[in-house]
Structure formats: C-alpha cells, structure tokens
Amino acid sequence: MPRFAEKNTCPKLSLTGCPPIDIKIKEENEIWQQQQEIKNLEKIGISFNFDYATEVSPWKITSILWRTFNETNYVGINVFTDGSKINNRVGCAMVVFEDGNEKEHEIWRLNNETTVFIAEMVAIREAVSYCKRRLITKANIISESRSALVSIESLEENRKFILDIKNSLQDTNSNFLLWWAKAHAGNKGNEKADNFAKKATEKQEINFYFCKTKQQRKTEMRKNIRQNWQILWDHSSKDHKKATEHLKPIKTGSSAGVPGASAEKMKELWNILSLNVMNGKTSETLTLKKTAAPLKNFCRTANREKV
C-alpha cells in the first residue's frame, strides 16, 4: 500500500495568493446562492437590478452603431451625457445644445452603491426619453463612456435595462444617433455635462436606486475571503505555519533595510523567488523554514503585499 507524506501548504498558499480550498468553496457557494436569489428579479424593493437579463428572439437582435464626435460647431439638437462618482456619491446629467446654444440641462442623483457605468447608462436613457417627450425627431446623443456605447452596440447584450435603451433608439418615428466624445478634450458640451454630473452628486434627493451588481458582490466576497484567510492564518496552532508572517515588504530594487545586500543581489534573489512561485515549485528553504535576511524580505506576506 503506498504511503504519502503530508506537508503544511499554508506558506506556499500565502506566497502564491491562493486561498485554502475550503474558504474558496464557501465563497463560490455564497456568490452562487446570491445570484440565484435575485437573477429573476427586475427590482428588489425600490432598487433596480441592472444585471436582470431577458431572452430576445434571434430575429429581434440588432446592433446600434456609434461614431466618434469631432464637431466644434453644433448643428441641430446635441445632447451631451455624463456620469460621475465623487466621495462615494454618484450622479449623472445631460445638457442640451440647439445649434450651438445651451438650451437646458437635467441632473439626477443615484444611490451610493451604483457604479459610474450604470450612471452613464442612466444618462443616455434619460437623454433618449427627453427627446421623445419634447417630440424631437432628430438628435445626436453624445457620451464619453465608450464601454456604455459598446454595450448598446453589442449583439450579445441581454440585460433588460440596456435592451430597453436599444428599443427606444430603434423607434421608426425618430432618428437618434449615438456618438462617443473623448473626455477632457476641450469639448464644451462634454465639459458642461461633466460639471453638471458632479453637481448631481451633491443633491440630497436620490432619483434612482440600483442594487449591487454581480461584479460588486464578487469583489466584496473576495475581500471577505482575504479577511477570513488572515484570521485563519493568525490563529493557526501549527508551529511552522507562519514562515512568512513577519516578513516586511521593502521597495523593489532598493537595498534599504537589508544589511549587506546590494540592489543587484536583491533583484537576482527576487527574480529567483518569483520564478519559483510562478512555476509552483517554491523552494522549501524559502517557504517552510524561517529564513534569515535578506531572503525573507523577498516573500509575499499573508496580505499579498508585494515587495
């Protein structure tokens, strides 16, 4: 019968940044459960679920193209949109120009959990709604968010919020064109929209509520897993479990704090350690024993602080 040797893997896990499998499984399970609970809900209380997806018949799938806006003389109706997040407060705005003259603007505050991407989408949606309310049949809608425009253009997009924008833009009774304008390029329409979006973050009244996105929940879960991993590390009872616990990060390429080690030697040793870690063959001397300086100064700490 074969016999196997058991080794403590905590030091190796901390060096490579891989959490223990039991904590990782719990994290993935919690994320999955959260997604199952809300994936079929368009609204949760008063908050919209931006990730809510819906099926679209293949023959109804279309792409809304966008162009690059380089105009300096605004002809006709041009609606500039923007979203902003300042001090954890989110807002968006639109400003309307008619033949180069500023006509009016609107601003909206969103709840703090909302992302800037969603704020940009809300601004575009409200710009389309504005044009329809005013019975405007032809207008340019300009955004500095390339990611928002790419999502509207995509044939694979299935989030209902974005699909509703696409449907509004496809209205046969209107001719609305989407444009992308580079941010902070001296475009007066963009600058105005940016200023109004920043002012929107100062509003007390919140106009739109959105629940946290799938990606936000994943990010929070990963933060929790690192905290739980740190607690597990700190309270481990194994004598040799803290081979890297007391390692102090130092500036890469500097010999400060490492007596007798030149910058060239430090770089050489760090490259060796990095290679070993990436290959999954971390040296036993570096990970399972309490090595003396300068080698220990090249390890990652339990918090994944890179030297």
DSSP string across 183-223:
TTSS-HHHHHHHHHHHHHTT-SS--B-BPPPHHHHHHHHHH
Looking up tokens 């696409």 gives 166
- pLDDT the model gives residue 254: 45
Regarding predicted confidence, which is higher, 120 or 253? Answer: 120
For residues 121-141, give the mean pLDDT: 96
Average pLDDT over the chain reads 78
Measured CA distances, 166 to 41, 97, 134, 170 (Å): 21, 23, 19, 6
pTM score of the predicted model: 0.69
Looking up tokens 């609970």 gives 37
For residues 110-125, give the mean pLDDT: 97
- pLDDT the model gives residue 73: 73
Query: Residue 142 and residue 191: Cα distance in Å, rounded?
Result: 12
CATH 3.30.420.10, domain 58-202, yes or no: yes
- HSE toward the beta carbon, residue 265, CA cutoff 13 A: 11
pLDDT of 108 above 60: yes
Question: What residue spans define the domains of the chain?
Answer: 58-202
Query: Residue 54 and residue 158: Cα distance in Å, rounded?
Result: 6
pLDDT tens digits, one per residue of 27-37: 777 777 777 77
> Is the CB of residue 92 less than 8 Å from the CB of residue 194?
no
Query: Residue 196 and residue 111: Cα distance in Å, rounded?
Result: 17
